[in-house]
Structure formats: C-alpha cells, structure tokens
C-alpha cells in the first residue's frame, strides 16, 4: 500500500489521503499511524481517496474506523485486542452517527462491496467527485 497526502481548501482545510493498492493486515497500522500523526499536526478533516485502492480486508475496516475515531479526538481500541476492535465498530454503528470528519472518495467496486456488506458504507459519506467531497466539509 502506498499513501499520499495533499491539502485542499473548502470551507475548512481538508487533508486528502490517497490510498493505493491493498489495505490489509500487513499494512493497516500504517493508515492508523498516518491519521494519528495528522491529527497531532492539526488536521481535523480527512478525505480518504480510495480510487486506487484495489482491496480491503477486515483489518482495513478496523483502520477506517480507527481513523474516524482519531479525527473525533478519541483513541481507537488497540488492534492487538482482536475482536475488541470489531466490537467497537458495531457499538459505533449502533449510534447511527455518520462520521463528519472523515469521508470517502471513489471506492472501487470491490472495496465498495466490502463497505456495503459490513454496513460501514452507512457510517461514512461517500463521494465520487473530489470538488464536491471537499466542499462537503
């Protein structure tokens, strides 16, 4: 997986994180660490560009949820605790809250299917146009 970051300006500054390749158990912590570092540096609005992400495993789902929690100023559960990270996703989904600080851009069909099947697509705003996505923050 390769991550790139750029800045965009809407009503607020938006950090666009491009994810290229597969997001899985071998690299999901990289996305979490990147989000943590960006939050510490002052980022509060993330747009995850998934247009070049070819695959996302269950570990990728944990990374997305952890990233959203970090942008809310919350520490995510440790992935070392296994199922605890998934239970946290389920508890957060039960609130019905859509994350406003993290949004998704152009997930590929295979990734979008994973988001839909797990219910995480309802958890995030999904956009297909970069300008509209940035303006939505």
Q: How far apart are CA 11 and CA 32, in angstroms?
A: 25
82: Cβ contacts below 8 Å, ≥ 6 apart = none
The answer, as to whether pTM is greater than 0.85, is: yes
Assign residue 122 the CATH number of its domain. 3.30.750.24
9: Cβ contacts below 8 Å, ≥ 6 apart = 134
Give the total number of structural domains in the chain: 1
Q: Chain-wide mean pLDDT for the chain?
A: 89
Cα separation of the two ends of the chain:
26
Output the six-digit token pair for 9: 């300006």
Domain that residue 98 falls in: 2-135
Count of residues in the chain: 137
131 pLDDT band (50/70/90 cuts)?
A: very high
Per-residue pLDDT of 69-115, as tens digits, reads: 999 998 887 766 655 555 555 666 656 566 789 999 999 999 999 99
SS3 annotation, the chain: CEEEEEEEECCCEEEEEEEEEEECCCCHHHHHHHHHHHHHCCCCCEEEEEEEEEEECHHHHHHHHHHHHHHCCCCCCCHHHCHHHHHHHHHHHHCCCCEEEEEEECCCHHHHHHHHHHCHHHCEEEECCHHHHHHCC
């Amino acid at each position: 997986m390769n991550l790139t970051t750029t800045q965009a300006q809407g009503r607020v500054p938006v950090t666009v994180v491009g994810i290229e390749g597969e997001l899985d158990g071998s690299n999901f912590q990289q996305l979490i660490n990147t989000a943590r570092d960006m939050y510490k540096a002052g980022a509060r609005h993330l747009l995850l560009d998934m247009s070049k992400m070819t695959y996302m495993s269950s570990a990728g789902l944990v990374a997305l949820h952890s990233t959203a929690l970090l942008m809310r100023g919350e520490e995510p559960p440790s992935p070392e605790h296994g199922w605890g990270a998934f239970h946290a996703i389920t508890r957060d989904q039960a609130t019905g809250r859509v994350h406003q600080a993290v949004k998704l851009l152009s997930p590929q069909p295979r990734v979008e299917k994973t988001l839909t099947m797990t219910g995480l697509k309802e958890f995030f705003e999904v956009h297909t146009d970069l300008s509209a996505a940035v303006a939505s923050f």
